[in-house]
Amino acid sequence: MGSRSVVIVGGGVSGLSLAYRLHQARPSLKLTVLEKNPKVGGNIGTLDRQGYRVERGPNGFLDAKPYTLELCADLGLKPQLIAASEGARKNRYVLKDGKIQALPNSLMSFIRSPLLSWRGKFSLLMEKYRKPRTGLEEESIRDFASRRAGREVADLLADALVTGIHAGDPALLSVKATFPRMVQFEKEYGSVMRGFTAVGREKRKSARAKGEQPQPQRMWSFQKGLQVLIDALESRLASCIQTGVTVKRLEKQGNLWRVYGEGTDSWEADAVVLTNPAYEQAIAVADCDAELAQLISEIPYTPVVVVALGFPQAAVGFQNLDGFGYIAPQNTKRDILGVQWCSSIFPDRAPAGQVLWRALCGGWNRQDILNWDDEQLTRAVVRELRETMKITGEPNFVEIIRWPKAIPQYHLGHLSRVEKIEQRQKAHKGLFLGGNSYSGVAINDCTENACKLSQKILNFLDELGN
Ligand SMILES: Cc1cc2nc3c(=O)[nH]c(=O)nc-3n(C[C@H](O)[C@H](O)[C@H](O)COP(=O)(O)OP(=O)(O)OC[C@H]3O[C@@H](n4cnc5c(N)ncnc54)[C@H](O)[C@@H]3O)c2cc1C
């Protein structure tokens, strides 16, 4: 078979892992990755400043799905992987009534926890016995959680979960699009709790059958940060990557696609894959299909500002630092969405005797914060940390990273929009859409989609024949 060509737009983890999977499966394929920025990695990147190691975007990835760990293994990165500390796994906190309070991690701590009233606790325990819903209409996360576990759980725990992952509004996000497993558990097991119990039982059984110790879900990174994954992908794909190219337009010419950048350069390919954010994909497809562009451009994004701060440990009054950090549910509309205690989660994130934290600000309900200047942001975050973490003095390190369009929001209607996008896309043979805009925003979702997309692309190229 002659050498076929694929152009991938976007050099984030979606585009790079897709290119890597395609190269692995078919080394003869002519691959080109076009990236707008001078550096690849997209949201992922690690900074080393003044002895602090700061993640610009994601802090780590979970092993709930195997895709990212498998990618790391294939890249020979397994020995460099580090799991989050045991304390970070077990000890998570929520801000309620201005105070940091532990999320229960056992039945006893749940019973004793002041987070929920007795009525709230009872309502949560009754989730197992509530009838599953039979209606088909899409439901928001807030409505789903209220219906299954009561309003208190929806306003505190479900909100905290959504704030931590999507920085979004639980009343607007579609539960089926953002947490498909929860909806599936209700359908299959009659209850979310029963679903989790059954899956946990199955996991323990299969680990024992392999002679392994059952492991709880963990978060992973590398000693030198997530940059290690990007650097490894980049070094394997170096000859395919072209940075500083902003793709603006696509055109079908006979059986081939022509991809245009801002200048006079263009690239020809049998298949073109867009893994850049939805609002950029919409620009690229506008000339060939205005309706498709309109549908894609309707996917909204939320802003997030990462304020990384270093303090001497002696300046921290809060005693239980062996944890992941805390979340302030969106409905509290505070200046900080949550704080990750980075130096408690992974080693070597701060110099000896110092702590490194990342305050995440903004989110769907506080989009105004994106416009605050560095001084206003730092002042607001430090003020909040004085109240919550009991700090004294000023930070000895500050790094601010603004993400004006950080995370796509799968609002109500997302699934039917994606269905329409897929329908229209069928008319454009050889055009593939990927990235985090459609079916999952976590790194694991991106690497999973890349695996699945690589297979679809290979099938398409096989159908083209010689
Ligand atoms: C602050 C923050 C914290 C997060 N925390 C976590 C976490 O802890 N765990 C987790 O699993 N996930 C987390 N996420 C989500 C996760 O990081 C992203 O979903 C994932 O990295 C997206 O990868 P991607 O390749 O799909 O998109 P991106 O990383 O956005 O990459 C897209 C690339 O396309 C390029 N591009 C854009 N337009 C063009 C164009 N016209 N032409 C060429 N190139 C273009 C961009 O420059 C970019 O490099 C977080 C995200 C953010 C922002």
Where does the pLDDT of residue 98 fall: very low under 50, low under 70, confident under 90, or very high at 90 and above? confident
CA distance 231 to 98: 41
Query: Is beta strand 325-327 parallel, antiparallel or unpaired with respect to 301-312?
Result: unpaired
Q: Is 10 in the pocket of ligand 1 (CB under 6 A)?
A: yes
- Does any ligand 1 atom lie closer than 6 A to the CB of residue 277? yes
Residue 132: pLDDT band (50, 70, 90) is very high
pLDDT at position 339 over 80: yes
Average pLDDT over residues 230-239: 97
The DSSP element (H or E) to which 72 belongs, if any, is helix 67-74
Spacing, Cα 290 to ligand 1 middle (Å): 25
pLDDT at 441: 97
Helix (H) or strand (E) holding 355: strand 354-362
Split at pLDDT 50, 70, 90, the class of 1 is very low
Helices (H) and strands (E) in the chain, counts: 18, 20
Tracing tokens 């979702």 back to the chain, one arrives at 445
Task: Give the per-residue pLDDT at 172.
Answer: 97
The predicted model gives 336-350 an average pLDDT of 97
d(CA 398, CA 19): 35
Q: Does the C-beta of 37 come closer than 6 Å to ligand 1?
A: yes
Give the nearest ligand 1 atom to 304 CA.
1
- How confident is the model over 12-32, as pLDDT tens digits? 999 999 999 999 999 999 999
The answer to whether 322 and 91 have CB atoms below 8 angstroms apart is yes
Domain limits of the chain? 5-42+228-299+410-464, 46-87+301-408, 116-209
State the pLDDT confidence band at 416, using cuts at 50, 70 and 90. very high
Nearest Cα residue to atom 29 of ligand 1: 42
Q: Which of 131-145, 252-266, 292-306, 340-354 has the lowest mean pLDDT?
A: 131-145
Among 102-116, 257-271, 326-340, the range with the most confident prediction by mean pLDDT is 257-271
> What is the pLDDT of the chain when averaged over all its residues?
95
Under the banding of pLDDT at 50, 70 and 90, the label for residue 466 is low
CATH architecture classification, 5-42+228-299+410-464: 3-Layer(bba) Sandwich (3.50)
Would you state the pLDDT for residue 133?
A: 87
- Residue from 33, 39, 43 whose mutation best tests the ligand 1 pocket (most atoms within 8 A of CB): 43
pLDDT at res. 47: 98
Check if 449 has its Cβ closer than 6 Å to any atom of ligand 1.
Answer: no
Residue tagged 């929920």 (tokens): 116
Q: Nearest C-alpha to atom 21 of ligand 1 is from which residue?
A: 43
Distance between CA atoms of 216 and 403, rounded to whole angstroms? 31
DSSP 436: T
Q: For residue 303, report the phi and psi dihedrals to the nearest 5 degrees.
A: -85, 150
pLDDT digits (tens, 9 = 90+) for 428-452: 999 999 999 999 999 999 999 999 9
Here the tokens at position 275 are 């893994």
Q: Could you tell me whether strands 397-408 and 30-35 are parallel, antiparallel, or unpaired per DSSP bridges?
A: unpaired
Lookup: tokens for 267: 């690239």
The predicted structure's pLDDT at residue 105 = 85
Total count of residues recorded for the chain = 466
Residues 336, 381: contact at Cβ < 8 Å? yes
Mean pLDDT of 116-139: 91
Domain 116-209 of CATH type 3.30.70.520: no
Instruction: Give the DSSP H/E element, type plus range, for residue 281.
Output: helix 278-285
> Could you tell me the distance, in angstroms and rounded to a whole number, from the CA of residue 165 to the centre of ligand 1?
14
**Phi and psi, residue 391, nearest 5°:** -85, 155
User: Does the domain formed by 46-87+301-408 have CATH 3.90.660.20?
Assistant: yes
Residue nearest to atom 53 of ligand 1 (CA): 406
Report whether residue 453 contacts ligand 1, using a CB cutoff of 6 Å.
Answer: no
For 320, the 3-state DSSP assignment is coil
- Which 8-state DSSP code applies to residue 85? P
From 59, 221, 276, give the residue whose CB has the most ligand 1 atoms within 8 Å, as the site to mutate.
Answer: 276
The residue among 214 and 344 whose pLDDT is bigger is 344
Local confidence band at 137 (pLDDT 50, 70, 90 cut-offs): confident
Mean pLDDT on 108-128: 91
**CB environment 379-403: b (16+ within 10 A), e (fewer):** ebbbebbeebbebeeebebbbbbbb
Query: Is the model's pLDDT at 135 over the cut of 90?
Result: no
Average pLDDT over residues 397-410: 98
- pLDDT confidence of 3, banded at 50, 70, 90? confident
Nearest C-alpha neighbor of 431 from the set 8, 27, 12, 17: 8
| pTM of the complete model | 0.96
